[in-house]
Amino acid sequence: MNPDALDRELLQMLCCPACRGELGYHSDHNEMSCATCGFTYPIIDGIPILFPTDVKARFEQLFKRSWDSEERAEVYDRFVEGRESFMDMHNHVGETRATLSVLGALPPGWLLDCGCGNGRFFQQYPSHVSAVGVDASLNLLRICKRRGRATRLVCAELEHLPFKEGIFDRTVSVRVLQHIHDQARAVADMVRVLRPGGEIILHCYNSASSKGAVKRLRQSRLAPVLNAPFRALFRTLSPFAPWELQYDQYNTVSQVCRWLRQQGVKVTVVRGTGFGFNKWLLTEFMVAPWLEKHHPAILKRYLDGSLRAEEAIGSLPFFSYVMEKFVLKGRKLAAAERDPTRQ
């Protein structure tokens, strides 16, 4: 028996990412192929690689992005699990609580985790939920599978989801949209694969927050001026340095809500989460690292209080629009429910 053989239910969901044609599965060669457009897609470690291109010819080019190397995938894995510092743990716990509060009680059904990475959120889904994970980083998916967090995994782009239309009950994406080049298209595809009445949950960085303001400074002509004294004093990476801005596109609540409405989704929940200054002020200016080393109890009490404050005010109208991140929930309307004047 082929240990990398694909789950039968997953096979029935997949389609060609280039033309959305039917895919043939060739277990003896560990690959899939599309009879319509002729593309062939390899299966590596039981994970189909479904990009809308000639994957075999462009394999190395496809995996030269931010977190795709094996080394950087391991770094990312430690960071998002909160194993590096109190501050990392604070970020991890805060975003998890906010997302779960918006998700609510999950009934049985199919869920697509869009940008699942190392699979950290699979641990939060109840056993009666059938979850599928998709991510553009093969090495993060390997970490996910190695830890036994999920078996139904697909390596693909969110802008070109290789799934048939209307098959999922929920699509969930946590802190992923800022890394996507064509964000509106990714949102549209996450809605496309939802059944009518299905729910989409998006957890996004907020450009209308204090962290968003710092990001704009990093992109401005003032950045070199701000960097110089900071580096002279702290000898470390400035929060105003232009590191990886190409993977860092924040959004506003109104912008994402507009994209969802255009796809026939009614937004039902908006919640804010996170205080941006905890990261760009306390960490980058060495306050949090110093406290963690010399007075960890003080830092822990502060972060615990910060989490309680986030939970208390995140659902209030003003704060849901200006906190570091926001979580949206929307329901895909059936065709008969849609109002064409609101598109």
Is residue 337 domain-resident?
A: no
88 and 17 in a single domain? The answer is: no
Q: How many whole angstroms separate alpha carbon 38 and alpha carbon 18? A: 10
Q: Which is nearest to 325 in space by CA: 206, 210, 234, 222? A: 206
Interval 203-230: pLDDT, tens:
999 887 666 666 666 665 666 666 666 5
H or E segment to which residue 32 belongs:
strand 31-34
**CA 294 remoteness from chain centre:** 34
Mean pLDDT of all residues in 290-305: 82
More confident residue, 303 or 145: 145
Residue 78 tokens read as: 């430690």
Interval 320-338: pLDDT, tens:
888 889 999 999 999 888 7
Spatial CB neighbours of 111, under 8 Å, sequence gap ≥ 6: 125, 129, 130, 131, 132, 168, 169, 170, 171, 172
More confident residue, 151 or 278: 151
Interval 255-271: pLDDT, tens:
999 999 999 999 999 99
The conformational region for residue 133 under phi > 0 = left, psi -120 to 50 = alpha, else beta, is beta
**Residue 248: domain span:** 70-327
Residue 181 binned pLDDT confidence (cut-offs 50, 70, 90): confident
Mean pLDDT of all residues in 186-197: 98
* Count of domains observed in the chain: 2
Q: How many whole angstroms separate alpha carbon 41 and alpha carbon 229? A: 51
Beta bridge partners of 110: 130
What's the Rg (C-alpha) of the chain? 21
167 and 44 in a single domain? The answer is: no
pLDDT of residue 85: 59
pLDDT of residue 245: 47
**CA 326 remoteness from chain centre:** 13
275 and 132 in a single domain? The answer is: yes
194 and 229 in a single domain? The answer is: yes
266 and 172 in a single domain? The answer is: yes
Mean pLDDT of all residues in 93-112: 90
Mean pLDDT of all residues in 166-174: 97
- Give the side-chain half-sphere CA count within 13 A for 18: 17
39 and 132 in a single domain? The answer is: no
19 and 143 in a single domain? The answer is: no
pLDDT of residue 191: 98
Interval 32-73: pLDDT, tens:
999 899 899 999 999 999 999 877 766 666 666 545 666 666
Q: How many whole angstroms separate alpha carbon 62 and alpha carbon 89? A: 31
Residue 149 CB coordination number (10 Å): 19
Q: How many whole angstroms separate alpha carbon 284 and alpha carbon 287? A: 8
pLDDT of residue 2: 56
Mean pLDDT of all residues in 166-178: 95
Mean pLDDT of all residues in 267-278: 82
115 and 148 in a single domain? The answer is: yes
Instruction: Kindly state the percentage of the chain with pLDDT values over 70.
Output: 73
